[in-house]
Structure 1
Amino acid sequence: MKALSLDQLVKHFSLKVLVGDDQLQTEIKQPRVHRPGLEFVGHFDFFPTERIQILGRKEITYLHKLSHEERKLRIGNIVQYHPPCFIVTAGEEGLTYLTQYCTEEKIPLLVTKEPTGTTDFIIKLDSYLVKELAPEMTLHGVCMNVFGIGILIRGDSGVGKSETAHTLIGRGHRLVADDIVVLKKLSAQTLLGTNDEKTKEFLALRSIGLLNVVRSYGQRAFQNETRISLDIKLTKWEKDALNNDLEQEPTFTDYMGVKISSIEIQLQPGRDVAGLIEAAANNWYLRQQGYSAAEDFLSRLESEFS
């Protein structure tokens, strides 16, 4: 199971550490957070103890209204489970009692430095955790965003993947990763494509060398991640191997249990491979809208002869 340290979280969200400076190597393994409202009033049947616990203005206001003994009981009931940390989004004023209990139980207590809505913070934190803790794999290929559609371009070494990506960049599309593509499974239907940071923004072209696409073509030529919708394999030309049916049977590639629509494009001198990839992206989008050019064409034929 993947994990990230609490220290990474503190740095990413610029959190203030009230308690637990020496415990920031605590591992976070759950990709969701929890707001312990029910637990403060005594309901522990489904308490996710391994999640980060978020305390917003509602929870803090409730605790302030309790008597000393009642507050001690309510907080004690939760800290005994030793969640990885508490994050307070309502400021640090009046948290002396919470600081005391977290110090005694060695539970990090963090506070957002800037006032922010608790719901907005939870959405941002959940999104960050899902991406960071998502199952991932790497593959050799290129990842592009074409017309807003995430595309994997695969094929044997030297087949022309990076050169095709360069042509697509020249047509206004965006590079996500070249050579090493990192895939992250965010859900059963969602696959995110990104880079491995070391090769970020770089495109390797035979006979030319490395290009930094941002330096060469501007920020518009690059984006850091994209949802993968189409898997395209570039292969060498084989005579009489192309299928000229009106519409190809849908095929899919499985990545960590997520099925991605896939097609094969054969290469031959003079073929506009980048243009074919653009056509494939447009065709995929129209299919998602329920349109099939083949069905449209056949319906016209039927109308003609009926």
Structure 2
Amino acid sequence: MYFVTVAQLREHFKLDILTPNIDYKDRKITQCDVNRPALQLAGFFDYFDQTRLQVIGKVEHTYLEKIDDEEERNRKIKKLMDFADIPCIVICREEINPFPYLLQCAEQNGIPIFKTDLPTSSFIAEANRWLHVELAPRLSMHGVLVDIFGEGVLITGESGIGKSETALELVKRGHRLVADDAVEIKKVSAKTLLGTAPEVIRHFIEVRGIGIVDIKQIFGVGAVKETKNIDLIIRLEGWDQTKQYDRLGLTNEYTDIMGIKVVTNAIPIRPGRNVAIICETAAINFRQKKMGYNAAEALNNRVMNNLQKNNLEM
């Protein structure tokens, strides 16, 4: 199970600590969803996931503020704060001041409380996005990830087939390297795969015969990128005369990565082929298809229309 610490959350969002006596550095957040405990403060605890980050905004605070009976208000607060597995609570909006009893219960149960000036909806949106990335399912693949004309292209193939050399040529042609050799892939949504490089080898390429090359130092910061969505896979493979390769592109081949199907082009390699230009063309062609134009379908329609025209003339 992946997790982030409450300390990482505080550092990322620059949160103010309201319970300085509570040690929160080892507390973990394991759920990527955020909860506003409005229903829980009203007394409904069915399906309450206490392991989620809890956010109190203007609605929750106003509800408690309008309870005239202080004992009843404290009872509602205590019932929520008795869930000691709550990783932390974040209070949003600058004008909201927490109830003293809320801080008292937090101290008793060891639940850290933080404050942010952000509006509640804005903080929840940013927290959800950040947690979905940090806690996403992930795997590592052998390959090279390059940003080509804005498309994230994962180049795969057997060891020694020329993936790193192709990436080096693409960088020289103005594209950006994300990862070489090992690509860490996170499934950040039902349709999105995010690729990055392991921190220890980030911005480095291994070129056989030369050794390790630091792309950032040689080509500058404009030649590298930290993360990139994986939009297209190009699989390099040795030329096989007995295999039938796709020459039209009317149908797509896919690779399944953690349940997401990614369009895949199999590129046969033989001496004399400029693989970098082929990768550029594949990326542009893929982008055209996303924008609604398919060259293979356009050619097919032109041929069919021409055949129908000739049949009518006959």
TM over 0.5: yes
CA distance in structure 1 between the partners assigned to 2:262 and 2:216 by the alignment: 28
Q: CA deviation at 1:244?
A: 5.4
Which residue in 1 is equivalent to 2:312?
none
* Partner deviation per Cα, 1:212-267 (whole Å, 9 max, x = no partner): 22222222211111111111111122336452532253211111211111121122
Amino acid at match of 2:90: I
Counterpart contact for 2:54–2:88, Cα < 8 Å? yes
Which residue in 1 is equivalent to 2:15?
15
* Partner deviation per Cα, 1:82-101 (whole Å, 9 max, x = no partner): 32210112347454222111
CA distance in structure 1 between the partners assigned to 2:246 and 2:153 by the alignment: 23
* Partner deviation per Cα, 1:33-54 (whole Å, 9 max, x = no partner): 1112232223333433221101
What's the TM-score, normalizing by structure 1?
0.91
Q: Does 1:103 align with 2:104?
A: no
Structure 1 unaligned blocks of 5 or more: none
Which residue in 2 is equivalent to 1:88?
91
Q: Does 1:230 align with 2:232?
A: yes
Amino acid at match of 1:137: L
Counterpart contact for 2:22–2:107, Cα < 8 Å? no
Which residue in 2 is equivalent to 1:159?
161
CA distance in structure 2 between the partners assigned to 1:93 and 1:261 by the alignment: 51
Counterpart contact for 2:232–2:264, Cα < 8 Å? yes
Judged with a 3 Å threshold, the aligned counterparts in structure 2 of structure 1 residues 95 and 214 are, in CA distance, closer, same or farther, namely farther
Cα RMSD between the aligned structures? 2.0
Within a 5 Å distance, the mapping from 1:190-209 to structure 2 comes to 190-209=192-211
Secondary structure of residue in 1 paired with 2:142:
strand
Which residue in 1 is equivalent to 2:252?
250
Secondary structure of residue in 1 paired with 2:143:
strand
Q: How many residues align?
A: 304
Counterpart contact for 1:213–1:222, Cα < 8 Å? yes
- The more displaced of 22-31 and 91-100 is 91-100
Structure 2 unaligned blocks of 5 or more: 310-314
CA distance in structure 2 between the partners assigned to 1:60 and 1:219 by the alignment: 46
What's the TM-score, normalizing by structure 2?
0.89
Secondary structure of residue in 2 paired with 1:143:
strand
CA distance in structure 1 between the partners assigned to 2:199 and 2:22 by the alignment: 28
Within a 5 Å distance, the mapping from 1:116-131 to structure 2 comes to 116-131=118-133
Which residue in 2 is equivalent to 1:299?
301
CA distance in structure 1 between the partners assigned to 2:213 and 2:89 by the alignment: 45
